[in-house]
């Protein structure tokens, strides 16, 4: 490079001038000084030049010094004849001192340069880390990374695992074009969690505290690896931080939405039930008053009450469906004997079941099941209600339960024409009703049943059997807790 060349030339010329100056300085003292001492002065000069001006000027100084020393101070003076071969040693030492010193100095300078460069790099990495700590989106983070790398002539692309919940769906960012093969290799690096290299690219997976988050792909530069490693680890931390920030924000939103839903359902429930409660109560009151007087209107009041009650059951099912389908069903599961739930359902529906021969077939020693009793009672009530609604007055109803392997099987059957469909499975979908059904209803009772049973990890089926229809559901049995014995 011309700049360096001319600098070396200038320095060499200055070195030669220094030699001449030294010679002129030492010349008047020639008669008092031993030649060896003068040689020392020249040696010092070589050393200083090597230290300050570098290798070429030092070598030049060594040559010039020996020449001047030989000509001016070694007898016979003003001639280049080497009378005494011993001065060759002086020359060799000077040359050696010059070379060694300049070499050491150069090395020192290089090291200093390197130290400064790495300090600069550290500072920039620190700045990168700081900036990544402040970014709010993955796009911003990738922009910042790409800027950092392109400042170092390292074109790069970043592939980030965008599949929340582990699906390895990559979103690609950055300015580097990736062939399908490169994509595959990036995927391999991601899956193995190990750095891969091709002729053209580095594939460096980066991880956060929990798992691999993505892959940094950069053009292959042999020496860039440590820097890329550092950048990759910063990218891992940043992407993970953004991921968790997003998760936190989303769950906060979900909690708020859930709260809102619960509030709306609660007030809807209150507003719908309150008028029904007074309607049922007032009609019942009226019915009681008029029935004593044996007036026809008393019967009307009774019908109003019954219709309001039927309406209330529909509203309950609709609200339950809304509650069960919106968000997560929270089960209050406890170890329960199923006979309690059966007994309580039969008692709740005592009015509806009056005049129906009800057969209950429950072994006395059924194991406990882990259920939300309130919800399973709802299932039984819905099934019993359906059994009544879809059969003629006086037709029998049968409720049975037995343990079969790991499941408690419960069936509610009626005597009648059975389901009007060939495949009754569809009846469990909301708002599906049997064709030609005359009985009132919204077609939501069975859907509620299915939602509740599925939430318990069970299953539910509907089928026709000779002489009627059956709905069966199974609940997983599990292992009931131990019970301390008591002396009889």
Binding residues vs another protein (CB under 8 A): 269-270, 273-282, 284-285, 287-288, 305, 308-309, 312, 316, 319-320, 323, 332, 334-337, 339-344, 346-347, 360, 362, 364, 368, 373-374, 377, 480-481, 483, 486-488
Shortest distance in whole angstroms from residue 427 CB to another protein? 24
CB 311 within 8 A of CB 276: yes
Cβ–Cβ under 8 Å, residues 425 and 436: no
Q: Please state, in angstroms and as integers, the Cα–Cα distance from residue 84 to each residue in 43, 70, 89, 364, following that order.
A: 19, 10, 10, 129
Pick 66 or 308: Cβ nearer another protein: 308
- Which of 262, 265, 478 lies closest to 367 in space, CA to CA? 478
Instruction: Tell me whether residue 186 or residue 280 sits nearer to another protein (CB atom).
Output: 280
Cα–Cα distance between 18 and 28 in angstroms, integer?
Answer: 17
**Do residues 191 and 175 touch, judged by C-beta distance below 8 A?**
no
As measured in angstroms, the least distance from the Cβ of 327 to another protein is 15
Q: How far is the CB of 344 from another protein (least distance, A)?
A: 5
Tokens of 189: 């690096």
CA distance linking residue 428 with residue 460, whole number of Å: 9
Residue nearer to another protein on the CB measure, 319 or 421: 319
Q: Which is nearer to another protein, 37 or 334 (CB)?
A: 334
In terms of CB distance, is 77 or 330 closer to another protein?
330
Q: What's the closest the beta carbon of residue 362 comes to another protein, in angstroms?
A: 5
Distance in Å, CB of 245 to another protein, minimum: 35
Please, how many CA atoms are within 13 Å of residue 402, restricted to the half-sphere of its CB?
4
Nearer to another protein, 127 or 299 (CB): 299
The structure tokens listed for 304 are 């109003």
Q: In degrees, to the nearest 5, what angle opens at C-alpha 469 toward C-alphas 465 and 470?
A: 90
Minimum CB–partner distance for residue 337 and another protein (Å): 5
CA atoms within 13 A on the CB side of 169: 5
Q: Which is nearer to another protein, 64 or 308 (CB)?
A: 308
Rounded CA-CA distance 45/65 in Å is: 9
Instruction: Give the nearest distance from C-beta 271 to another protein in angstroms.
Output: 10
Q: Could you please report the per-residue DSSP string of 75-92?
A: SSTT----S-TTHHHHHH
* CB-nearer residue toward another protein: 392 or 483: 483
* In the complex, minimum distance from the CB of residue 215 to another protein, in angstroms, rounded to a whole number: 49
What's the closest the beta carbon of residue 366 comes to another protein, in angstroms? 10
- Concatenated DSSP letters for 32-52? TS-HHHHHHHHHHHHHHHHHH
**Residue from 328, 284, 278, 321 nearest 305 by CA:** 284
When the beta carbons of 239 and 375 are compared against another protein, the nearer one is 375
Give the contacts of 201 (CB within 8 A, at least 6 positions apart). Answer: 176, 182, 185, 217, 218, 219, 220
């Amino acid at each position: 490079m011309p700049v360096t060349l001319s600098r070396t030339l200038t320095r060499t010329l200055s070195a030669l001038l220094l030699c001449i100056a030294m010679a002129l300085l030492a010349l008047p003292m020639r008669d008092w000084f031993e030649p060896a001492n003068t040689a020392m002065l020249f040696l010092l000069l070589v050393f200083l030049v090597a230290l300050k001006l570098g290798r070429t000027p030092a070598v030049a100084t060594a040559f010039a010094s020996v020449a001047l020393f030989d000509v001016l101070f070694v007898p016979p003076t003003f001639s280049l004849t080497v009378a005494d071969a011993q001065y060759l040693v002086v020359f060799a030492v000077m040359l050696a001192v010059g070379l060694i010193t300049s070499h050491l100095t150069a090395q020192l300078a290089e090291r200093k340069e390197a130290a400064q460069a790495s300090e600069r790099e550290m500072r920039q990495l620190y700045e990168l880390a700081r900036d990544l700590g402040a970014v709010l989106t993955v796009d911003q983070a990738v922009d910042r990374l790409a800027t950092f790398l392109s400042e170092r002539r390292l074109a790069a692309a970043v592939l980030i695992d965008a599949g929340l919940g582990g699906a390895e769906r990559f979103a690609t960012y950055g300015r580097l074009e990736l062939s399908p093969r490169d994509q595959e290799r990036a995927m391999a690096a991601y899956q193995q969690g190990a750095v891969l290299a091709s002729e053209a690219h580095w594939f460096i997976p980066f991880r956060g505290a929990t798992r691999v988050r993505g892959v940094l792909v950069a053009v292959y530069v042999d020496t860039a690896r440590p820097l890329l490693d550092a950048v990759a680890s910063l990218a891992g931390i940043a992407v993970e931080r953004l991921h968790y920030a997003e998760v936190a924000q989303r769950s906060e939103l979900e909690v708020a939405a859930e709260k809102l839903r619960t509030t709306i359902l609660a007030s809807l429930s209150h507003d719908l039930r309150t008028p029904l409660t007074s309607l049922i109560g007032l009609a019942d009151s009226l019915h009681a008053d008029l029935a004593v007087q044996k007036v026809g209107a008393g019967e009307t009041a009774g019908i109003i009450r019954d219709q309001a009650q039927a309406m209330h059951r529909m509203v309950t099912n609709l609200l339950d469906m809304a509650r069960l389908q919106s968000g997560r069903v929270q089960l209050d599961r406890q170890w329960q004997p199923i006979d309690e739930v059966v007994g309580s359902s039969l008692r709740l529906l005592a009015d509806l079941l009056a005049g129906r021969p009800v057969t209950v077939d429950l072994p006395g020693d059924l194991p406990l099941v882990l259920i939300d009793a309130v919800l399973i009672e709802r299932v039984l009530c819905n099934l019993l209600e359906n059994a009544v609604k879809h059969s003629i007055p006086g037709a029998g109803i049968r409720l049975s339960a037995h343990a079969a392997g790991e499941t408690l099987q419960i069936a509610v059957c009626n005597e009648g024409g059975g389901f009007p469909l060939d495949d009754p499975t569809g009846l469990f979908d909301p708002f599906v009703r049997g064709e030609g059904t005359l009985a009132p209803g919204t077609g939501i009772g069975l859907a509620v049943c299915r939602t509740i049973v599925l939430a318990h990890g069970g299953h539910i089926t509907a089928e026709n059997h000779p002489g009627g229809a059956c709905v069966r559901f199974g609940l997983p049995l599990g292992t009931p807790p131990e019970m301390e014995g008591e002396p009889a």
